Chains A and B, each alone.
Chain A
Amino acid sequence: DADVTQTPRNRITKTGKRIMLECSQTKGHDRMYWYRQDPGLGLRLIYYSFDVKDINKGEISDGYSVSRQAQAKFSLSLESAIPNQTALYFCATSDLGEAFFGQGTRLTVV
């Protein structure tokens, strides 16, 4: 099994719909992150969490929310999707050392 698993892998949704991206990890790490990747812009941090009671905004959190259901689970929600949220989304986990990434969720908002 992968260290970090994201579901779904691909999703097409309509403008205005609510969508949730899920992430689970088997590394036993406390720290989890959500990034988005856009062509030419690199990866940018959306939200991060140190534990189930500690949620923090990243540099581009507007339009997103997160939930840390357990140490191993961290989900990202788009309350009302818009086309410029079309991107590749990555979940990651780390323990102050090496970071481990999921395979990504390709989200298209039409």
Chain B
Amino acid sequence: KQEVTQIPAALSVPEGENLVLNCSFTDSAIYNLQWFRQDPGKGLTSLLLIQSSQREQTSGRLNASLDKSSGRSTLYIAASQPGDSATYLCAVVPRGTASKLTFGTGTRLQVTL
């Protein structure tokens, strides 16, 4: 059974810092990996989707990498801002599972002034 772990569970950084969020998964047979942002009590906003054949994806200040062989993905946020404060969720679609997402429990990020 695929398991997804996100470390750290919570992170506080001062504004302007570059930071890395980590996601690990136990089975490298995945179809894709997706990073989401969730504001308190709100829905999930898709940030980046990495297909299994890709190594990384970039959107603005966000860069996500994927290393299937080691079962790891990182989300890099450059020049963090208070508006980046949210919970970041990583989810994988294991191969042969009909696009069912398996989620990590998230990293709660706080960017302070």
Q: What is A's interface to B at a CB cutoff of 8 Å?
A: 31, 33, 35, 40-45, 48, 50, 56, 58, 88, 90, 92, 94, 96-104, 106
5 residue pairs of the A-B complex, CB under 8 angstroms, read A31-B98, A48-B100, A94-B99, A96-B31, A101-B44
Total contacting residues, chain B, CB less than 8 A: 23
Q: A11–B29 Cα gap in the complex (Å)? A: 39
Contact status of A96 and B43, CB under 8 A, knowing A40-B105, A41-B105, A42-B104: no
With A42-B105, A99-B46 given, name 12 new contacts (CB 8 A): A31-B98, A40-B105, A43-B89, A43-B101, A48-B98, A50-B98, A88-B41, A90-B44, A92-B44, A98-B46, A99-B99, A101-B44
Q: Once bound together, how far apart are the Cα atoms of A104 and B43, in whole Å?
A: 5
Chain A residues, Cβ within 8 Å of B46:
98-101
Contacts across chains A and B counted by CB atoms under 8 Å: 57
B32-91 CB contacts (< 8 Å) to partner A: 32, 34, 36, 41-46, 49, 51, 89, 91
